[in-house]
Amino acid sequence: MVASLAMDWRETAVCITTEDLGVFFQEDPSEAKLTCFRCPARLACLDEACRIQAHEDLYGVWGGLTQKERETLVLRRHLADGQIEVIYEELTEA
């Protein structure tokens, strides 16, 4: 069920028909962001990107946000979930 839901948003992803996926990994993210903001899959894409990014580095623009913007979003999500102590302990482990 989860897999089929995940496939649904990919079927409407605008970037699937984009010839140059390199725009999603450029230093200037503006072109990629424009593509994402007209993508009907944007929120589902962003949600999945944030889930992945909570555990590993995920480069490029996903769901209209850069890696740094998603990191901020993930951190805010954790703050809202009351998990900031867990993150702090992970970051300060020697």
**Binding range to ligand SF4, per CB under 6 A, among 40-48, 51-59, 65-73, 81-89:** 40-48
**Binding range to ligand SF4, per CB under 6 A, among 50-58, 59-67, 72-80, 84-92:** 59-67
Of 52, 53, 48, 76, nearest to 63 (Cα)?
48
Is residue 23 near ligand SF4 by the rule CB under 6 A?
A: no
Distance CA(31)–CA(50), nearest Å, equals 21
Residue 65 CB neighbour total at 10 angstroms: 22
Specify the residue, 7 or 91, whose C-beta has the smaller distance to ligand SF4: 7
Distance CA(2)–CA(50), nearest Å, equals 16
Q: List contacts with ligand SF4 (CB under 6 A).
A: 13-15, 35-36, 39, 41-42, 45, 62-64
